[in-house]
Amino acid sequence: MTTTMQETAPPALRATSIDVSDLDIYYGDFKAVEGVTLTIAARSVTALIGPSGCGKSTFLRSLNRMHEVVPGARVHGKIVIDGRDLYDADVDPVEVRRQVGMVFQRPNPFPTMSIFENVLAGVRLNARKVSKSDAHDIVERSLRGANLWTEVKDRLGKPGASLSGGQQQRLCIARAIAVQPRVLLMDEPCSALDPISTGKIEDLMIELKDEFSIVIVTHNMQQAARVSDRTAFLMVELDADEDNRWGRLVEYDETEKIFTNPRDKRTEDYVSGKVG
């Protein structure tokens, strides 16, 4: 995964596509997701939509090897970035998680840690020694990148918990981008936020896609339509005797196509609000 070239490449070149093929995702014996094949494009926003339980979060977590932290959880198939399978035996999952960052549904800053140190938390975890001036540069760059700088620059020493929910989520985005990942995964990042904060995060996603490949899970169809370039629709399938169920990719296409002229009737029913 790591080469010095990627480290020193300009930001726009760090963004990368992800090739997923024949991916099955298990929790122990339970197959939660079956047979996903798709390519996530670089420098774009890809939305994952579908009814609850179809495996959106599970799929998202498989993209940075967070899935396997659940005991018994595993995948079959391939997820390739830059010619390397993330699941190859010699790939370090910690390094994968540095390259493929994640933002969660509920903002989760360290509450008593200062805003400044929250931004640096991931950087420090990666065990690089950070000089004072580098630390300040990273904090300012990341907070500017997350559109939070002007709101917090005069209170960087205050605890993370002193921010509003929307600000906390942007702080978490700042923390995620501080380590300069190549891909940013976001699992329903706005579901705990008011419409104004949601709008700010949506604007931010559109700005950040110049630099990162972004994958977002959302239940908000308008949001998927507003921010994403491509949309993947997943659904739960049942086998004939309805004993087994698993999530499957039904359709993946340009967002515009998914929302105006999908190929599959099930996609049309879902995006038009008839089911789900």
Ligand X SMILES: Nc1ncnc2c1ncn2[C@@H]1O[C@H](COP(=O)(O)OP(=O)(O)OP(=O)(O)O)[C@@H](O)[C@H]1O
Shortest CB 92 distance to ligand X, Å:
23
Nearer CB in complex with Mg ion: 59/87: 59
Helix/strand/coil (H/E/C) assignment for every residue in 96-158: HHHHEEEECCCCCCCCCCEHHHHHHHHHHHCCCCCCHHHHHHHHHHHHHHCCCHHHHCCCCCC
Among ligand X, Mg ion, none, residue 228 binds (CB under 5-8 Å by kind)? none
Contact region with Mg ion (CB under 5 A), list: 32-40, 55-63, 191-199, 206-214 = 55-63
Nearer CB in complex with Mg ion: 59/212: 59
Contact region with Mg ion (CB under 5 A), list: 37-45, 51-59, 196-204, 251-259 = 51-59
- 21, 24, 27, 237: which one contacts ligand X (CB under 6 A)? 27
Site string for ligand X, 42-81 (x = CB under 6 A): ----------xxxxxxx-----------x-----------
Nearer CB in complex with ligand X: 55/166: 55
> Is residue 221 near ligand X by the rule CB under 6 A?
no
Residues in the chain: 276
The residues of the shown chain that bind ligand X, judged by CB under 6 A, are 27, 30, 32, 52-58, 70, 247
- The residue ranges that bind Mg ion (CB under 5 A) are 57
